[in-house]
Amino acid sequence: MYYNILSELKNAVRARKTGVAFPFSKMDFAVLEALAEGGYVKNVEKETVGRKNIISVKLPSKEKSLTDFKLISKPSRHFYADYRSLRPVKQGHGLGVLSTSKGIMTHRKAQKAKIGGEYLFEVW
């Protein structure tokens, strides 16, 4: 799940790693693409090693690195938001990620498309 990916990305940034690899799942790949769209991840690619698929992630140098994250929806409590209630994260310096009917997208993209959904997490 994306919970583990967020903590591993945060640890990799703090350890000054250049890249990280994760087991492939469609949900994780979509979350990482949303983070790449926001600039928190440099590059996301699906690779095949033997019979297994992995996600290869390249991290940015310093300009916009993942400092911390906050999980909004959890397995015990799901939080849904419509597009009118989406607010800027950390006064515009963060990024919110939603799971909508059109796929996983950032909160800015969801506001423009006027789509609400399950508010997954915030990063800054």
Band (21; pLDDT cuts 50, 70, 90) = very high
Q: Are residues 115 and 88 in the same domain?
A: yes
- The helix/strand/coil state of 51 is coil
Instruction: Determine the pLDDT at residue 62.
Output: 76
Q: Are residues 88 and 52 in the same domain?
A: no
CATH number, domain with residue 115:
3.30.1490.10
Q: Exposed e or buried b for every residue in 19-46, given b needs 16+ CB within 10 A?
A: ebebeeeeebbbbbbbbbbbebbbebee
Instruction: Determine the pLDDT at residue 65.
Output: 86
Does residue 63 form part of some domain? no
Would strands 95-100 and 117-123 be described as parallel, antiparallel, or unpaired? antiparallel
* Helices within the chain (DSSP H only): 2-14, 26-38, 107-113
Band (74; pLDDT cuts 50, 70, 90) = very high
Rounded Cα distance, 80 and 38, in Å: 21
Q: Can you give the residue range of the structural domain that contains 38?
A: 2-58
Band (1; pLDDT cuts 50, 70, 90) = confident
C-alpha atoms less than 13 angstroms from C-alpha of 34 in its C-beta half-sphere = 29
Q: Are residues 46 and 91 in the same domain?
A: no
- Sign (positive or negative) of CA dihedral 59, 63, 69, 73: negative
Q: Is the pLDDT of residue 63 over 80?
A: no
pLDDT tens-digit series, residues 7-19: 999 999 999 999 9
Instruction: Determine the pLDDT at residue 26.
Output: 97
> Over pLDDT 70: what percentage of the chain?
100
What is the mean predicted confidence (pLDDT) over 100-109?
A: 97
**In angstroms, what is the C-alpha Rg of the chain?**
14
Q: Exposed e or buried b for every residue in 88-113, given b needs 16+ CB within 10 A?
A: ebeeeebbbbbbeeeebbbbbbbbee
